[in-house]
């Protein structure tokens, strides 16, 4: 092989390599919507779009669960903190006059500890539900505004998640002594005939499950918005 042919082949290889680099660099820096639009022009667009959106949601779920499963993940965040349910406010007010403040402090702490303890299981259930999620709209419609991917997921899968998460919350609630004491009291309270059907007899586990899922979905949506706006850092090591 003469020198001219070697130079020619080397030049072609260099051109191909540079072309690949030039193509890949902007693709890595694209937003989620940019990647969706790119794959819409390909034969495998539907499956690739679905993978892209599910990957982003999976990361958002992991971020949310990591934060909220920490001690005080719910309790020390005012917008997520689970308050004493309205149905027992009257009982709380009366019992505090009998020096029961510590019980109600422990009761509210128990509500939030139950949510924090159950958060990892919520993450598992959400990722299982994500595998079954079908995107029935055009990706551009789903991604029309910030947080819209989380809202779509929530709308489609929340009934299933509430049902499955409820069982984990029941276990978590049973491990909180103040909540166990309340549930025992509730059983006695409900057995009194003339107050059996009052608002004070309510589903504690359902309340905790609902508020915990609301908090987790809020953090997933915030994580989604961050992930959609992030771009890879450039210029490192140069």
Which residues touch 148 (CB under 8 Å, ≥6 apart)?
A: 142
Q: What mean pLDDT is reported for the chain?
A: 79
CA 73 to chain centre: 13
Which pLDDT band, with edges at 50, 70 and 90, does 144 fall under? confident
Highest mean pLDDT among 28-42, 173-187, 195-209, 218-232: 218-232
**Alpha helices by DSSP H, 80-134:** 89-96, 101-132
DSSP symbol at 234 = -
Residue 37 pLDDT > 90, yes or no? Answer: no
pLDDT in tens, 93-122: 877 777 788 888 999 999 999 999 999 999
Residue 71 is predicted with a pLDDT of 97
How would you class 30 by CB atoms within 10 Å of its CB: exposed for 0-12, middle for 13-18, buried for 19 or more?
A: middle
Are 68 and 77 in contact by the 8 Å Cβ rule? The answer is no
User: Helix 204-229 to helix 101-132 angle, to the nearest 10 degrees?
Assistant: 60
CA atoms lying within 13 Å on the CB side of residue 146: 9
pLDDT in tens, 154-185: 999 999 999 999 999 999 999 999 898 888 77
Q: How many CB atoms lie within 10 A of CB 174?
A: 13
Which pair of tokens denotes residue 81? 């903190």
CA distance 69 to 166: 17
Which pLDDT band, with edges at 50, 70 and 90, does 35 fall under? low
How would you class 161 by CB atoms within 10 Å of its CB: exposed for 0-12, middle for 13-18, buried for 19 or more?
A: buried
| pTM for the model | 0.75
Least confident of 32-41, 42-51, 110-119, 130-139: 32-41
Least confident of 66-75, 77-86, 174-183, 189-198: 189-198
CA distance 34 to 108: 45
CA distance 102 to 99: 8
Which pLDDT band, with edges at 50, 70 and 90, does 191 fall under? low
Which pLDDT band, with edges at 50, 70 and 90, does 19 fall under? very low
């Amino acid at each position: 092989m003469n020198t001219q042919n070697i130079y020619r082949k080397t030049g072609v290889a260099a051109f191909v390599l540079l072309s690949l680099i030039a193509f890949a660099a902007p693709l890595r820096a694209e937003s989620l919507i940019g990647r969706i639009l790119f794959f819409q022009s390909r034969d495998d667009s539907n499956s690739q779009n679905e993978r892209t959106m599910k990957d982003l949601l999976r990361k958002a779920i992991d971020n949310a669960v990591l934060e909220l499963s920490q001690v005080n993940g719910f309790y020390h965040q005012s917008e997520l903190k689970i308050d004493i349910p309205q149905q027992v406010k009257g009982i709380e007010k009366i019992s505090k006059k009998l020096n029961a403040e510590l019980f109600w402090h422990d009761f509210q702490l128990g509500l939030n500890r139950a949510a924090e303890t159950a958060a990892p299981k919520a993450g598992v259930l959400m990722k299982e539900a994500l595998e079954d999620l079908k995107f029935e709209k055009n990706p551009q419609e789903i991604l029309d505004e910030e947080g819209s991917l989380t809202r779509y997921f929530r709308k489609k899968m929340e009934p299933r998640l509430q049902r499955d998460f409820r069982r984990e919350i029941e276990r978590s609630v049973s491990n909180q002594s103040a909540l166990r004491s309340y549930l025992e009291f509730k059983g006695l309270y409900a057995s009194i005939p003339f107050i059996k059907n009052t608002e004070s007899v309510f589903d504690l586990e359902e309340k905790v499950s609902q508020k915990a899922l609301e908090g987790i979905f809020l953090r997933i949506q915030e994580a989604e918005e961050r992930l959609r706006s992030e771009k890879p850092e450039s210029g490192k090591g140069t």
